Chains A and B, each alone.
Chain A
């Protein structure tokens, strides 16, 4: 009996897969999810999301124009980090800052040139809108850079070399020119694939129950395992197609380097996709109806993958309890793998533990789906 069920099981499975493919073709929203979504979202975010601030509007207030002040303000006009606007006085500049017309103010007091020769040094007043703390820090870093360069040029023109006691040299490994796109695009792929995985499967089982077609399936000889596999295989193929498209775009549209191997990327993507599809299936099976399945998919996929995966925010800096929670977000492991495979290479000590976690998550989600689905048969 058991020996007979193997080829029969395979034939039944093939039939189920074919049926699912027909359904996919009939309602093209699944194809849209797998192919249009990664292209659209990657283009939008690859170009749209950037942490590199340029052309920051800055107000410059010079109380008494003199050569030294003109020299310093020229340094601000020459860089493309800032778009300076002259303001007659501080109240006007403060007003512009409150109205978001400028993000910072550079304020040189009346006696700037003469105070340069005092022991304390002349103060250069800077006010930054600190609401966006990250950008504010960037802006203050730019201003410090301009200030240091101005000091150096000034010292050189007076005939000596200005040297700080300790001279900081830095090297940023894996992304020497600090293109934020290089880490954002691999991270975005992880977020987008989370959405695709869940969107593809979150509705499929609930839909069969809701429409009563599941009961029709149950009276046929197909087993629950075959039903689940029949759902998994077509969407896995679609998802891998979407993933391949995303990787191609990362490499050729966004010029992200791929320092690891393509087969490592493929293998880990397959693991991640199994976990993501498994989560969708579990939602679909547990929710009973499409409405709740849809709501759950919205709540548990996008924002956790976006905020808790380490794609933007450093996981090591989160409180212990929150770090613990990040372990149940599959995207967390995939972000670590993608950023490493794209930018650093096939580093087993990073990839293996994260891949193992993905295997575990896929096994848990699919195992739970299987178990929950069986219970429903009784």
Chain B
């Protein structure tokens, strides 16, 4: 039995890797994509182009503007003299932010406050606009503190003392890169499994496989092992790049990470093989792969938190193995999360894996055309 499984596994790996184009697609793009996406996917803004409309032209307004142009987040690209120029600059995306200082700015500032600063933001991507607004708010808050300290004004009776755990500088790359590691692992697994049975069905070789002494369980193991081997290998390279290239801290234990990775791979392979054995043609297999992949990524908490979703959709995410793996990845990388949190993510993945692998094995023989 073992011999048969080994033989089948070798055949599966060969059929994936003997084709030069297929070998290339499985190995190179995911690694290149990790590098590109790792740099691309960040909510932190830098070089936000902004325009200044300074009607006051005082020492105070210049000081405030200098704080904007000196910030690493903003780049001063335009100075304007008329209200009418604002709309054009924003409309054609020349600037994301216009800082407008009215003519009585310094007078109000010197006579006890309430000097108005107007910030106009391009809300076409309202998330980017809100992030930029937060930077503006930080600059104004610091200006206010300095001004109060300098002029001896009344300071507020209570001050906020905000600290962030696990990611003190709130670098969104630390959050995104482990997520991308999960994403690419899923993509690789889908590449290996989602079309494998469908191709054999379309070409008729699967029927030949079914009349051999191989039992469905053995076929299942033979089809699943290449995904597991390739997935583990690529995930390891991806994790190494995350740690050594992107310098994301790895605070938890490797054991916790690899238990999670193993269970995640089993569940993803299960889903992939299930899709594959449901399909008669590769076109259907590809469609199935996308129909799983896209929701699995978007509803995993990778870029937008699950807690923000409506309750029905939150319940739906419980079926998504990716959701649990995201918690494991971030828990191990950043939080050094307790085992209890890890175990609560492990068992649903194990359950999904068991259910989908069983279904796939059953479908090998029972799919009705």
A residues adjacent to B (C-beta < 8 A):
27, 29-30, 32-33, 37, 40-41, 44-45, 47-56, 72, 97-100, 103, 116-117, 119-138, 140-141, 143-144, 147, 150-151, 154, 162-176, 178-180, 182-183, 187, 195, 199, 202-203, 207, 287-292, 294-300, 302-304, 306-308, 310, 312-314, 316-319, 321-322, 325-326, 336, 339-340, 343-344, 347, 349-350
Listed by A's residue number, 22 A-B pairs whose Cβ atoms lie within 8 Å are A29-B283, A32-B287, A37-B291, A51-B308, A52-B308, A103-B307, A126-B162, A126-B163, A130-B165, A134-B43, A166-B113, A166-B143, A172-B130, A172-B133, A174-B124, A178-B123, A290-B286, A295-B191, A298-B289, A308-B37, A339-B124, A350-B91
Taking a contact as CB atoms under 8 Å apart, the answer to whether B127 and A51 are in contact is yes
- Nearest-neighbour CB distance to chain B for A213, whole angstroms, equals 14
State whether A317 touches B45 (Cβ < 8 A). yes
Residues of B within 8 A of A303 (CB): 33, 37, 183, 187, 297
Q: Is the CB of A294 within 8 A of B285?
A: yes
CA distance A322 to B38 in the complex (A): 10
**B181, chain A: closest CB distance, angstroms:** 13
- Residue pair A291, B282 in contact (C-beta under 8 Å): yes
Q: With the chains together, A343 CA to B167 CA distance in Å?
A: 35
Chain A residues, CB < 8 A from B168: 130
Check if B165 sits within 8 Å of A170, measured CB to CB.
no
Q: Which residue of the partner chain B has the closest CB to A188?
A: B298
Interface residues in B284-319 by Cβ distance below 8 A to A read 284-287, 289-291, 293-295, 297-299, 303-305, 307-310, 313, 316
Complex CA–CA separation, A267 to B40 (angstroms) = 30
A182 CA to B282 CA in the complex, in Å?
36
Tell me if B213 is interfacial: C-beta within 8 Å of chain A: no
- Specify the chain A residue showing the minimal Cβ separation from B109: A165
Chain A residues with Cβ below 8 Å from B64 are 166
Chain A residues near B153 (CB-CB < 8 A)? 165
CA–CA, A314 to B116, complex, Å? 28
Asked if B71 CB lies within 8 Å of chain A CBs, one says no
Q: Contact between A344 and B124 (Cβ–Cβ < 8 Å)?
A: yes
When the two chains form the complex, which single residue of B45, B155, B308, B310 contacts A314, counting CB atoms closer than 8 Å? B45
A347 touches which one: B92, B148, B195, B299 (CB < 8 A)?
A: B92
Cβ of B118 < 8 Å from any Cβ of A?
A: yes
A310 to B41, CA, bound (A): 10
In the complex, chain A residues whose CB is within 8 Å of the CB of B59: none
> A132 to chain B: which residues have CB within 8 Å?
175, 305
Q: How many whole Å from B118's CB to the nearest CB in chain A?
A: 5
Question: Given that A292-B21, A313-B42 are known contacts, is A122 also in contact with B286, CB under 8 Å in the complex?
Answer: no
* B136 CB within 8 Å of chain A: yes
What's the least CB distance linking A351 to chain B, in Å?
Answer: 10
The yes or no answer to B232 lying at the interface (CB within 8 A) is: no
* Total of A-B residue pairs, C-beta within 8 Å: 354
Which residues of B sit under 8 angstroms from A207, Cβ to Cβ?
283
B58 close to chain A: CB less than 8 A: no
Inter-chain CA distance A33–B291, complex, in Å, is: 9
**How far is A317 from B309 in the complex, measured between Cα atoms in Å?**
27
Interface centre among B136, B158, B285, B289 (most CB of A within 10 A): B158
Whether B341 sits at the interface, judged by CB under 8 Å, is: yes
> Nearest residue in A to B284 (C-beta to C-beta)?
A29
Q: Decide if B21 touches A56 in the complex (CB within 8 Å).
A: no
Contacts of A134 in B (CB 8 A): 43, 127, 131, 172, 175
Residues from chain A with a CB closer than 8 A to the CB of B175 are 131-134
Residues of A within 8 A of B36 (CB): 308, 322, 325
Task: Give A136 to B165 CA distance when docked, in angstroms.
Answer: 10
CB distance A27 to B161 under 8 Å?
no
CA distance A30 to B286 in the complex (A): 11
Docked complex Cα distance between A344 and B63 (Å): 33
B337 within 8 Å of A (CB atoms): yes
Residue of A nearest to B140 (CB): A168
A183-B157 contact, Cβ under 8 Å, with A164-B144, A168-B137, A317-B45: no
CA distance A147 to B199 in the complex (A): 61
Closest CB of chain B to A293's CB: distance in Å? Answer: 8
Asked if A128 and B164 sit within 8 Å, CB to CB, the answer is: yes
Beta-carbon contact of A131 and B45 below 8 Å: no
Pick the residue among A125, A128, A167, A343 that contacts B117 (CB under 8 A).
Answer: A167
Please tell me if the beta carbons of B128 and A314 are within 8 angstroms of each other in the complex: yes
